[in-house]
Structure 1
Amino acid sequence: MILAVPALVHGAGLPMAAAVPTSLVVVGASSLTAVLPRLRLVQWRLAAVVGGVGAVATFAGTAVNRLLPGRWVLLGFALVMVAAGVRMLRGGGSDARGVEGRRRLPRAVAVGLGVGFLTGLFGVGGGFLVIPALTLLLGLTMTTAVPTSLVVVVVNSVFGFTAHVTGNGGAGGGIDWSTAAAFTAAAVAGSLAAARLAGRVPATRLRRGFALLVLAVAVYVIVQSVLAPAVGS
């Protein structure tokens, strides 16, 4: 879902002011669909801390979003995509020692603040940030990190969307709901299809392929933002 904003801007032609809240609708709905079959695997206490703190931070990210031109928001988002793509290419395992008790709480709060802020600023759910944080910083296995991250993404998406809507006089954030519905349906269908295919393709190959796609889209966004600055304004 890190590709939702570029797709909405450059594919559907939405301005950034509409693309960000529309992306949150798409991300939230698709994440909710994905987590429902795996609710038993969610680490609810961590999800509550990270999601709760992140929900508050989304309002700060949204406030900053309103102060910046759409071009700069898009460029900043492209840099986040580059960082995510590089991180996925490098890989990395989970912290086998785990993190427990009082050491876990401040880390969970820090993760929530960072992910929530980026959710409000760029309109991303933050799953590509939450999963590494849950595994590397908080010691979760991938089995529990993925469904836990989906809960956090749903919470952040709801509050991020609310922040954008209330900041636009409650008018729906300028969303084209037909576009939002089409993208949401495609995202849900894609996530269900990907879940079936994931077990047939080596995880390393999937991660590297997606990382290269993210990097390619990031380069495209940067070039378009420089050569056609009116896009995303």
Structure 2
Amino acid sequence: MSALVLALFAGAVVGLALGALGGGGSVLAVPALIYLLGFTPAAATTASLIIVTSTSASSLYSHATSGNVRWKTGALFAAAGILPAVAAAALSARLPGQLLTAAFAAVAVLAALRMLKSPTHENEVRPVSPVRAAGAGAGLGAVTGFLGVGGGFLAVPALVGVLGLRMRVAVGTSLLVITVNSLAALTVRTGSAAPVDWAVVAPFTGAAILAAWDGKRLAAAIKGPTLQRIFAVVLLCVAAFMLTDAVH
């Protein structure tokens, strides 16, 4: 199968994840770029940030028009993570790839277990504490920079479990957080990153952007707790695969 077809297929899956779940883009894009398209881990990390930043920004507009973005909470959450993301991205460049892969898998498992343990009902809304939002945002930013991912697979559980947002609002708000954090991490990585293979990255990104709009419609048709369970199962599967690869 040609690289173009694989890029289009993988991009569609990543876009559906971002549009429907508000996360999972990088956690799916990085393995796809490495294992399907032959990228090195370093090149895959940079490429995935380009793909996820572009797709998240496009999907954010779609969710915003439906009123599913909590702008003040998302901005505070994202702003608190910028400096930690930059610092962690610089640190991660000095560590071995196997260690980062294992850490990536472990964090994904923890996020998935939290989503399975604490499903949020559509009518459950709690007041958002600025202090908790800033603290959670800083922690997410550090993990985003360290692991080289957009952070949506952690942002959604944090927005749901820590800040008490409804699932659909958490999905939309997480896209704002992903866009900001991905741009911050990408800024650090572009200076020392390998050249981007645009022949693969461009069609991958285009397919992801188009599929994200279908993902948003899918999210509107599925109940919040069901979305959480789908998200958790996807995370567990990807984490198991990457952890197995890291220890071999």
TM-score for both structures, normalised by structure 1? 0.83
Contact 2:168/2:219, CA 8 A, preserved across alignment: no
1:4 to 22, 29, 53: 29
1:46 to 49, 73, 87: 73
Q: Structure 2 counterpart of 1:99, which letter?
A: P
2:109 to 82, 94, 98: 82
Structure 2 match to 1:218:
239
Q: Write out aligned runs for 1:1-233 (5 A).
A: 1=25, 2-39=27-64, 41=67, 42-93=69-120, 96=124, 98-100=126-128, 104-166=129-191, 168=192, 173-227=194-248
Q: Structure 1 counterpart of 2:201, which letter?
A: A
Distance (Å, rounded) in 1 between the aligned partners of 2:211 and 2:125: 35
Q: Structure 2 counterpart of 1:98, which letter?
A: R
Please state how far the C-alpha of 1:204 moved relative to its aligned partner: 4.2
Contact 1:131/1:149, CA 8 A, preserved across alignment: yes
Contact 2:120/2:166, CA 8 A, preserved across alignment: no
Q: Structure 2 counterpart of 1:76, which letter?
A: A
Please state how far the C-alpha of 1:200 moved relative to its aligned partner: 4.1
**Which string of whole-angstrom CA distances, capped at 9 and with x for unpartnered residues, describes residues 6-36 of structure 1?**
2222222212211112111111111111111
Contact 1:19/1:175, CA 8 A, preserved across alignment: no
Contact 2:114/2:157, CA 8 A, preserved across alignment: no
Please state how far the C-alpha of 1:114 moved relative to its aligned partner: 1.2
Contact 2:119/2:225, CA 8 A, preserved across alignment: no
Distance (Å, rounded) in 2 between the aligned partners of 1:141 and 1:82: 22
* Pair 24,206 (structure 1): closer, same or farther in 2 beyond 3 Å: same
Identity %: 36
Contact 2:62/2:216, CA 8 A, preserved across alignment: no
Q: Which moved more, 1:11-20 or 1:200-209?
A: 200-209
Distance (Å, rounded) in 2 between the aligned partners of 1:142 and 1:200: 13
Distance (Å, rounded) in 2 between the aligned partners of 1:212 and 1:96: 23
Distance (Å, rounded) in 2 between the aligned partners of 1:203 and 1:46: 20
Distance (Å, rounded) in 2 between the aligned partners of 1:12 and 1:68: 24
**Which string of whole-angstrom CA distances, capped at 9 and with x for unpartnered residues, describes residues 196-229 of structure 1?**
33344455444434432332222221222222xx
Q: Which moved more, 1:35-44 or 1:49-58?
A: 35-44
The answer for unaligned runs of 5 or more in structure 1 is 228-233
* Pair 84,65 (structure 1): closer, same or farther in 2 beyond 3 Å: same
Distance (Å, rounded) in 2 between the aligned partners of 1:151 and 1:114: 16
Please state how far the C-alpha of 1:121 moved relative to its aligned partner: 1.4
Contact 1:115/1:126, CA 8 A, preserved across alignment: yes
Distance (Å, rounded) in 2 between the aligned partners of 1:165 and 1:120: 13
Q: Which moved more, 1:209-218 or 1:71-80?
A: 209-218
* Pair 204,43 (structure 1): closer, same or farther in 2 beyond 3 Å: closer
Q: Which moved more, 1:207-216 or 1:150-159?
A: 207-216
Q: Structure 2 counterpart of 1:29, which letter?
A: S
The answer for unaligned runs of 5 or more in structure 2 is 1-24
